[in-house]
Amino acid sequence: MYPLIGITSSYDAEAKKFIIGEDYPGAVQAAGGVPLFIPHHSEEHVAALLAGLDGLLLSGGGDIDPYYFGEEPLPVNGCIDPLRDGFEILLTKLALKKGMPILGICRGMQVLNVAAGGSVCQDLNLRVDRPLQHMQQAPRWYATHNIKLVKGSMLHGIMERESVRVNSFHHQMINDLGKNLVISAIAGDNVVEAIECADDKTFALGVQFHPENMYFKYPHIFSIFKAFIEACTRFLSSKKSLFLKDI
């Protein structure tokens, strides 16, 4: 069985084009999933869209409108896409309610947190006195700083190591954690680098780095996608079991 994985996208308003990096579907396919590009559109279709998926991958992109976590925008807040924000947050809320596996990457981790009732720091320099370089000047596949994994976390079990070097392309960070989420990795400057669902029966994982740009060079990074697709395959099997019971 090949689970169908919905991957959210960015939008270039000037070119009027939806955009998705090729490494996202590449990583999903390499791990055994079937990628499906999801352009954000009317929120009224979210439930119907989600019904056809077996997993949700929230991709990276611009900043989330602070409105969604009860703040006014500060000058350091970057470009926002209101349609994408509303669509993805609702999509994630429903996916969490259904227990569908979720993998959030960079912005996607922040969307996961906000959808669960958490907040985002609009610029990490507002909270961190001596930050590491989180907007690296190096190839996207290259790991530039270390993160420490929380022992006993799902991510720790997936990667089977206590620390790992990752890439970094962000200026915002997790602030207050959303409901039923826990921290599973931090950087040396205490910036949150991964969060996950506190319920170990639900695969909901967010990472601040970009594993889709690293998976083909680092097997331990690829293990994130393998674990995600395995969870999606189990979710697909459970849906089929429920369908068979109903006929």
Residues with a catalytic annotation lie at 106, 210, 212
Report, in angstroms and rounded to the nearest whole number, the Rg of the chain calculated over CA atoms.
17
User: Could you tell me which residues come within 8 angstroms of residue 213 by beta carbon, excluding any fewer than 6 positions away?
Assistant: 21, 23, 140, 141, 167
Residue 200: count of CB within 10 angstroms of its CB: 11
The structure tokens 């996961």 sit at 112
Query: Can you tell me the distance from the alpha carbon of 111 to that of 43, in angstroms, rounded to the nearest whole number?
Result: 16
Amino acid at 47: A
The structure tokens 């991964």 sit at 194
CB-CB contact of 93 with 86 (8 Å): no
